[in-house]
Amino acid sequence: MSDSSSQQPRTAGPATRRPSVGVRVGKIMVGGGAPVVVQSMTNTDTEDPASTAKQIAELARAGSEVVRITVNTPAAAAAVPRIAERLAMMGVDVPIVGDFHYNGHQLLEAEPACAEVLAKYRINPGNVGFGKKKDSQFASIIEKAIQYGKPVRIGANWGSLDQGMVATLMDENAQRPQPWDAGVVAREALIRSALDSAARAEQIGLPRDRIILSCKVSGVQELIAVYRDLATRCDYALHLGLTEAGMGSKGITASAAALAVLLQEGIGDTIRISLTPEPGGSRTQEVIVAQELLQTMGLRAFTPLVTACPGCGRTTSEFFQELAKTVQGHVRAKMPEWRVMYDGVENLTLAVMGCVVNGPGESKHANIGISLPGNGEAPSAPVFIDGEKAMTLRGDRIAEEFVGILDDYVARKYATRTA
């Protein structure tokens, strides 16, 4: 029997990143060892430059490092340069990716300014065209990418599988002594569709460092299986995302479950969380979830996160929940300004705890922590700064005073950025 106490405990943290070829998307590097990039997609009508530019700006200000827009009609393609002009006037500098289906070859040919302005083209091998026209339409998009010096994401999707590829693999499968099950054949079709298309793009002349791949499915276990396989079969940079993840907590949970497993294994160079917004909800939620996923996994730091206990019968006051919400909201509201002013502020850690059981201990681990009084405890809230008890707050202005302490700390602790 082995002596488990003599074994070295496993260290916490993700596996070494899968090596991939770096691809420059405008000013952003994807893959090649660069930090995992957060991206998002608009849901405005691209033909409307004002609302599309406004939403791109919101997504970029929330932290999206690349933003994709659909380019589906001649009017949408014609609007792309106008969207870029509006963004420049707003002082927003973010790479814009054009999402093309069916008519991308025509739109890129008809609107050279659109082809020029976009930082990347996204095409789906299942939707480039059909029948005999498919190969020539694929080739003409790749030729445009070569002409304009743009990278291309070849994004296969479960919902629009290349039917020619499916038929070929079904025939191959029928010849096997023990045929694979239909799910395995479909996964193989998705992967082969992406890999074969990438190989064809390279034959046409698109360099390897201008190709990103994705193979999106809507099931968590299928996505993990597909990307594990894809990751071992190529060194292209990979875009990760669970397609059609859904709404609210279901979409967030499913995306996080799938992407966390893959990121932990070192797979994935850029991520998008495909959430269906609540009616009237903000599109920026998908950016916040992507950032929080990467940050809570220790892969990147974007914004100070608040550690808060869940609350229990020892703290019946809603004040504790309100304080946690106020502090997280304050930090998010301040971050655009802090990010520009202070170096390293995204690494700040905060704790808002409901009572004395875990409050002081958790507060000491944070840069700033507060432990509110639980039921029956003295009505005082000790504040810890860098592990030491610094002061005690009392009365009905605890929230304002704590936020003031936080602002002072940030100004003192983080060096002012030089331009």
Of 81 and 311, CB closest to ligand SF4: 311
Per-residue binder mask for ligand SF4 (CB under 6 A), 63-92, x = binder: ------------------------------
Is 322 marked within a binding site? Answer: no
Smallest gap from residue 374 Cβ to ligand SF4 (A): 5
Residue 157 has φ and ψ, to the nearest 5°, of: -140, 135
Kindly state the greatest CA–CA separation across the chain. 79
Residues 294-333 that bind ligand SF4 (CB under 6 A): 309-312, 314-315
- Draw the binding track, 98-137, toward ligand SF4 (x: CB under 6 A; -: no contact): ----------------------------------------
56 counts as binding ligand SF4 under rule CB under 6 A: no
Closest distance of CB 370 from ligand SF4, Å: 12
Min dist CB 311 to ligand SF4, Å, is 5
Q: Is 114 annotated as a binding residue?
A: no
Angstrom distance (rounded) from CA 108 to CA 267: 32
- Sign of the C-alpha dihedral computed for residues 384, 386, 390 and 395 taken in this order: negative
Task: Round to whole Å and give the CA distance between 221 and 229.
Answer: 12
DSSP 266-321: T--SEE---EEPPTT--TTHHHHHHHHHHHHTTS---S-EEEE----TT---THHH
Which residue, 9 or 310, is less far from ligand SF4 as judged by CB?
Answer: 310
Number of residues lying near ligand SF4 (CB under 6 A): 13
Distance of CA 114 to the CA centre of its chain: 25
Cα dihedral sign for 170, 176, 179, 184? negative
Residue keyed to tokens 């943290």:
13
Report the DSSP pairing between strands 368-371 and 381-385. Answer: antiparallel
DSSP run (H or E) holding 37: strand 37-41
Of 244, 266, 265, 264, the C-alpha closest to 255 is 244
CB nearer to ligand SF4: give 203 or 392: 392
95 or 311: CB nearest ligand SF4: 311
If phi > 0 it is left, if psi is from -120 to 50 it is alpha, else beta; for residue 89 that is: alpha
Find the shortest distance in angstroms from Cβ 234 to ligand SF4.
Answer: 46
Q: Is 309 annotated as a binding residue?
A: yes
Output 225 or 356, the one with its CB closest to ligand SF4: 356
Judged by beta carbon, residue 280 or residue 310, the one nearer ligand SF4 is 310
Please report how close the Cβ of residue 307 comes to ligand SF4 at its closest, in angstroms.
Answer: 11
Please identify the residue of the shown chain whose CB is closest to the bound ligand SF4.
Answer: 354
Closer Cβ to ligand SF4, 61 or 314, answer by number? 314
Write down the least CB distance from residue 297 to ligand SF4, Å.
23
Helix or strand run (H / E) with residue 336: helix 319-341
Residues numbered 347-376 forming contacts with ligand SF4, rule: CB under 6 A: 353-355, 357-359, 374
Strand arrangement, sheet containing 381-385 = 305-308, 349-353, 368-371, 381-385, 388-393
Binding positions are 309, 312, 355, 362
The site for ligand SF4 (CB under 6 A) is made up of 309-312, 314-315, 353-355, 357-359, 374
Binding positions for [4Fe-4S] cluster are 309, 312, 355, 362
